[in-house]
Amino acid sequence: MKKQEEYIAVPKNTIAVLQKHGFQFKKQLGQNFLIDMHVLGKIIRAAEIGPGDVCLEIGPGIGSLTQALCEATLPAEEGTSDQPDAENAGGAAAHEAEKNAGGAAAHEAGENRCGRVFAVEIDDRLIPILQENLGDYPHVTILHTDFMKIDLPSFFEENHIDKPVKVVANLPYYITTPIIMALFESGVPLASVTVMVQEEVARRMQAKPGNKDYGALSLAVQYYAEPYIAAHVPPNCFMPRPGVGSAVIRLTRRSEPPVAVKDEKLMFKIIRAAFGQRRKTLVNALSGSPELGGNVRLADGGSLTLSKELITEALTKTGLQPQIRGEALSLQQFADFTNALASAC
Ligand code: SAM
């Protein structure tokens, strides 16, 4: 187990790594490195990382969070797990793992297995730095690629990943939503996604109808997962400081969607169109939407033309007023409305 002063995330260690390699931040890659051990511990605890876990990190930077993940996924050292150093991110994580069922079960079974950590970084300048900084951890795999170009089902198969993965990351803010949607929509087995995002984005993911932050992202995230904001993080916890506040959000994957919808793709097209023009009534937003204009293909092979009459009819069938705006509908109501539309063809 590492001592706190040995962690890369300690500001003087981060500065030493940056100076040694003459590293200059690239703003367009969302490079704001975490330099706060307390926040690092909160992420590891919120993600409930323990020995034997398989973790996927998007954007490891110089390896600050990766190192804490590596420490937490190692088998607990004899005699150390009962009295962890509370200030030590890896130690705290190991302690948490004792409390969580997976870690405890592994111990009882005497498996004491080492986990795995996959870290995907786009910036070629960071690869040799990561290799050097994480050289002590044979269970980490550093991948040099754009995360958005990975075919996740093939990646899981090629790496023989046979258990739900815990995604943990301090995300590059310019592609937060595409990354989260790619993870959920890929259908790969995920246990949870615990990520640092802009505070405003975290609020949107958690928002309910009637809240100004409620939108397409809220509905998409809540269809796949249960969100929970684990920490609010001020700009001074990063180097360089971002212009906005951040938050750590944990999205726990649902085993089943919370609503039954016959045509998932159609529902999300409707949701996007509804919030694309959120000031309009649902009837006007959908009938005037470029994505839904003309013939809409359905999952069962049929097709539908979304006329104002058909939309009004489906709203009435769902028990909703024809003048209603999309922002007033819950996920259940979007599902019921989509089912009413799909059954009209
Ligand atoms: N994990 C590190 C930390 O917490 O200090 C760095 C986090 S920094 C906010 C985001 C990282 O994502 C950067 O290292 C950046 O180069 C990387 N990145 C940006 N776009 C990426 C992409 N499309 N695929 C993989 N990594 C990406």
CATH code, domain carrying 141: 3.40.50.150
pLDDT in tens, 163-192: 999 999 999 999 999 999 999 999 999 999
Same domain, 130 and 98: yes
Domains of the chain: total: 2
Rounded distance from Cα 61 to ligand 1 centre (Å) = 5
Q: What is the pLDDT of residue 108?
A: 39
Residue 165 domain-assigned (yes or no): yes
Rounded distance from Cα 45 to ligand 1 centre (Å) = 21
Q: For atom 6 of ligand 1, which residue has the closest CA?
A: 61
pLDDT in tens, 237-256: 999 999 999 999 999 999 99
Q: For atom 22 of ligand 1, which residue has the closest CA?
A: 146
Q: Say how far apart CA 309 and CA 89 lie, in whole Å.
A: 59
Same domain, 73 and 116: yes
Same domain, 275 and 186: no
Same domain, 270 and 245: no
Rounded distance from Cα 239 to ligand 1 centre (Å) = 13
Q: What is the pLDDT of residue 109?
A: 42
pLDDT in tens, 214-227: 999 999 999 999 99
Same domain, 282 and 220: no
DSSP output for 139-195: TEEEEES-GGG--HHHHHHHTT--S-EEEEEE--GGGHHHHHHHHHHT---EEEEEE
Same domain, 338 and 318: yes
Residue 300 domain-assigned (yes or no): yes
Residue 87 domain-assigned (yes or no): yes
Q: What is the pLDDT of residue 124?
A: 98
Q: What is the pLDDT of residue 61?
A: 98
Same domain, 168 and 111: yes
Same domain, 23 and 66: yes
Torsions phi, psi for 36 (to 5 deg): -135, 115
Last residue of a domain, one of 219, 234, 253: 253
Q: For atom 11 of ligand 1, which residue has the closest CA?
A: 59
Q: Say how far apart CA 314 and CA 59 lie, in whole Å.
A: 44
Same domain, 291 and 152: no
Q: Which of 76, 108, 104 is nearest to 90 (CA)?
A: 76
Structure tokens at 58: 């998007």
- Residue by residue, pLDDT tens for the chain (345 residues) are 789 999 999 999 999 999 999 999 999 999 999 999 999 999 999 999 999 999 999 999 999 999 999 999 998 765 444 333 334 454 444 344 333 333 334 433 434 578 999 999 999 999 999 999 999 999 999 999 999 999 999 999 999 998 999 999 999 999 999 999 999 999 999 999 999 999 999 999 999 999 999 999 999 999 999 999 999 999 999 999 999 999 999 999 999 999 999 999 999 999 999 999 888 999 999 988 888 876 788 888 888 888 999 999 999 999 999 999 999 999 999 999 999 998 876
Give kind and range of the element (H or E) at residue 119.
strand 116-121
Last residue of a domain, one of 223, 253, 283: 253
Residue 259 domain-assigned (yes or no): no
Q: What is the pLDDT of residue 106?
A: 40
Q: Looking at residue 322, which CATH number applies to its domain? A: 1.10.8.100
Last residue of a domain, one of 221, 253, 285: 253
Question: What is this structure's pTM?
Answer: 0.89
| 152 strand-pairing partners | none
Residue 280 domain-assigned (yes or no): yes
Q: What is the pLDDT of residue 102?
A: 38
Same domain, 30 and 139: yes
Same domain, 269 and 249: no
Same domain, 211 and 282: no
Residue 258 domain-assigned (yes or no): no
Where in the sequence is the domain holding 305, given as residue range(s)?
A: 264-343
Q: For atom 12 of ligand 1, which residue has the closest CA?
A: 59
Q: What is the pLDDT of residue 1?
A: 78
Residue for token pair 């007023």: 321
Residue 204 domain-assigned (yes or no): yes
Pairing of strands 165-170, 190-198: parallel
Structure tokens at 120: 């995907």
Rounded distance from Cα 299 to ligand 1 centre (Å) = 36
Residue 289 domain-assigned (yes or no): yes
